[in-house]
Structure 1
Amino acid sequence: MKILHVSPSFYPATFWGGPIFSTKAICDGIAAMPDFSLRVLTTDAAGLAVSDRVRRVPMGYPVHYAYRIAGHSVAPGVLWHLPAAVLWADVVHLTGTYSFATLPTLALARGLGRPVVWSPRGALQATQDWPDAPRKTAKRLFERAAQKLRPKGCVLHVTAAMEAAQSVARLPDIRTAVIPNCVSIPPLVGRIFRPGGALRLMYLGRLHPKKGIDQLIAAMDRLPDCVTLDIYGSGDAAYEATLRAAAAEYGTRIRFHGPVQNAAKTLAFARADLFVLPSHSENFGIVVAEALAHGLPVLTTTATPWRRLDLIGAGVCIDPLQDDLAGAIARLGAGDLAGMGAYGRDWMIRDFSPEVMVARFAALYRSLAADEPQMVQA
């Protein structure tokens, strides 16, 4: 079976965080299966500036990086190669929502009779859920065009029931398939929680207002001096400057480190006692899964799809608008952090391994190619 992935960016464009790694994990797993052949059509975008271009690495399957000339994903080469690529495929997997290639891909798939798995990667949910989402009128027009252009055999891939409900509010009557993202399970390493009585908080991800980082910084005012916060990630320069200014009064209690990957990310998790993601909106939150896989307890919010944290015993979800963030940090930090971390890691191994995710996508592709979408919900 032939699978075409169309995406506005692709690994090693890690600037955009979790979705890049998840899309690569899908492609790696599917390409390794003997009855699948996979190709990727994307751009060479590696960051916000047009001059930011990926340094290509071998993938083990064909990846065409079209030359970006503007915006996030404007690359005429994608359109040049798209018709032949869609014609080649049995199933098209489209990633991204308000992107340069989204509408052409949907239209070509419809015209050529190809089913589509469409992964919006939280963009529809964010537009629906986040009051300050930009360009809402233009996005609504884009969505209406997508509704008219998408093929009958189009399934929206979402990572949680919360994302499904909010995405369908933007695209009524579209079918959905819920397949959570996966997380790589790192080797288990020994860690000492709360060394010397300290409590080391950690945030990792994009620096964006919807992530609630400003509230996390403000919460430090009501926590004792033994509590420190390490912030990993990058975002809009002006917003990052605002966060740094707010954190300045805390001196070395709050440290900004910029983006981290691979071994540096593993080391960052190893040096923390509690991962905090006080987000106002999250379609999945792959960093939560990464923290849990590293044996780190998590505090996040009910605006994320991680409410089972409490049930599993791996952390806690709080209401971002009503609950006391500082109080929740203090209570969780005084608990059995090692036990919570062990429960979370076991949960990731059981339900969120790459093998589980890839098997679900393979079943979805097969069912769409056979016009038997048993995994799909109306």
Structure 2
Amino acid sequence: MKVLHIVPTFYPATYWGGPIWSTKAICDGIAAVPDVELQVLTSDAAGPAISDRVTPATLPYPVHYARRMAGHCIAPDLLARLPRAIHWADLVHVTGTYNMPTLPAFALARVLGKPLVWSPRGALQATEDWAEAPHLRIKHGFEHLANIFRPRDTVLHVTAAQEARQSVRRLQGIARAVIPNAVDIPVDLPQRQRDGSGCRLMFLSRLHPKKGLEALFDTMARLPSRFTLDIYGTGDAAYARMLQLRANFSNGRIRMHGHVEGKAKAAAFAGADLFVLPSHSENFGIVVAEALAHRVPVLTTQRTPWQELERHGCGRCIDLSRSDLAAEIAALAEHDLLQMGERGRAWVRRDFSTAAMVAAFEGLYRDLAGQGFQEVMV
């Protein structure tokens, strides 16, 4: 089976956040299946500036990094390679929404009669449930064209039932497959200890208004001085400067650290008591799973698919419009956060393994390529 992944940006372009890691995990797993050939077409965009270009990674499958010429991922060479690559494939998997490769890939797959999996990575959901989402008129136009251009045999891949409900409202009669992202479970973790005199809050994600950071900054001004906040991530330069300016007036209680990965990310989790993600929209929120995998309990919102945090005894999922974020954080800090973290780690180890995700995608690909697809819920 020949599988083609078309994605606007790809590993090691980790600036673009969680989807980079989850897409790579799918490709790594599928490429290891004995009778599968995998190719990836992407751009070389490593960040917002045109000069930000990735150094191609050495991977066990071919990845073509087309040179970005403008915008987020406008790469003419990527478009030029699409016809031959799609003709080669038995199945096409397109990741991303509202960007250059998506609609041309849809149209060519339709013309060439190739089945297609589409992973919007939360973009359709965000447009549906976030009233302040930018460029709404342009996005509605994109969705209209997507409905016209996509092949008849197209399956929408979403990571949670909530994303499925909100995404399919924006499309017409599309089949769906619910397959959660996987998370790497670190084998060896440093022993975490709480300093009873303080509570170290942590945020790690893309710096973007939809992540609720401004509400979190307002909350810090209302929490006692024993609460501190460490922020990890990058985003739009102007927005990041605004946040840094606000952090400068926090008397050192809010610290911004920029992008981290690998050992630096593990160290960041090891130094946190509670992970807070007050997001207005998340299709999955891989950072929530990562925090739990590192034994850090989580407070997030009902606009994420993590409503079972309380049932598993490892955090809370609140309605941000009705709840007092400061009061929720203060109340959660009174619990045994170390024990909550242990329960969270056990949960993600059981339910969010890479093996389960890869098996679900392999089944989806084979069913769709063989014209025997039925909607998938994992």
Q: TM-score, normalised by structure 2?
A: 0.97
d(CA) in 2 for partners of 1:194 and 1:71? 45
Q: Provide Cα deviations, 1:142-192, integer angstroms capped at 9, x if missing partner.
A: 111111111110000001111111111111211111011110001242433
Q: How does 1:128-207 map to 2 (within 5 A)?
A: 128-207=128-207
Which runs of structure 2 are paired with 1:1-378 in the superposition (5 Å)?
1-376=1-376
Is the 1:68–1:74 Cα contact (8 Å) retained in structure 2?
A: yes
The 2-side partners of 1:225 and 1:319 are apart by 25
The worse-fitting range, judged by mean Cα deviation, of 58-67 and 367-376 is 367-376
More displaced stretch, 117-126 vs 219-228: 219-228
Please give the alpha-carbon distance, in whole angstroms, between the structure 1 residues aligned to 2:173 and 2:345. 37
Higher alpha-carbon deviation: 264-273 or 171-180: 171-180
**Residues 194 and 223 (structure 1), Cα distance of their counterparts in 2 relative to 1, 3 Å cut:** farther
Secondary structure of the residue aligned to 2:169 is: helix
1:79–1:104: 8 Å Cα contact kept in structure 2? yes
Matches of 1:94 and 1:368, distance apart in 2:
14
Q: Secondary structure at the match of 1:230?
A: strand
Deviation string, structure 1 residues 295-343 (Cα, Å, up to 9, x no partner): 1100001111000001111100111111011111111111011111111
Task: Kindly report structure 1 stretches of 4+ aligned residues shifted beyond 3 Å.
Answer: none
Q: CA deviation at 1:376?
A: 4.2
Q: Which amino acid aligns with 1:143?
A: E
Gaps of 5+ in 1: none
Q: Which amino acid aligns with 2:172?
A: P
Partner of 2:40, secondary structure, is: strand
1:124-149 CA-to-partner distances (Å, cap 9, x unmatched) read 11111111212111111111111111
Q: Which runs of 5+ in 2 are unaligned?
A: none
Secondary structure of 1:85's counterpart equals helix
| Corresponding pairs, count | 377
Kept in 2, the 8 Å contact 1:9–1:20? The answer is yes
User: Percent identity among equivalent residues?
Assistant: 60
Return the alpha-carbon distance in structure 2 between the equivalents of residues 324 and 191 of structure 1.
32
Q: Is the 8 A contact 2:247 2:256 kept in 1?
A: no
Provide the alpha-carbon RMSD of the alignment: 1.1
Distance 1:66 1:277 in 2: 34
Contact 2:205 2:233 in 1 (8 A): yes
Deviation at 1:375, TM superposition (A): 3.5
- Does the Cα contact within 8 Å between 1:155 and 1:376 map onto a contact in 2? no
Give the AA of the match of 1:320: L
**CA shift for structure 1 position 244:** 2.2
Q: Which amino acid aligns with 1:123?
A: A
Distance 2:217 2:191 in 1: 25
Deviation at 1:370, TM superposition (A): 0.9
| TM-score, reference length from structure 1 | 0.97
- Aligned to 2:56, the other structure's residue is in SS state coil
Indicate the SS of the match to 2:221: helix
Kept in 2: contact 1:175–1:376 (CA 8 A): no
| Superposed displacement of residue 196, structure 1 | 4.4
What are the superposed Cα offsets for residues 32-61 of structure 1, whole Å, 9 maximum, x if unpaired?
110211000111111111111001110110
Contact map agreement 1:103 1:149 (CA 8 A) in 2: yes
Contact 2:9 2:73 in 1 (8 A): yes
Alpha-carbon distance in structure 2 between the residues aligned to 1:188 and 1:317: 28
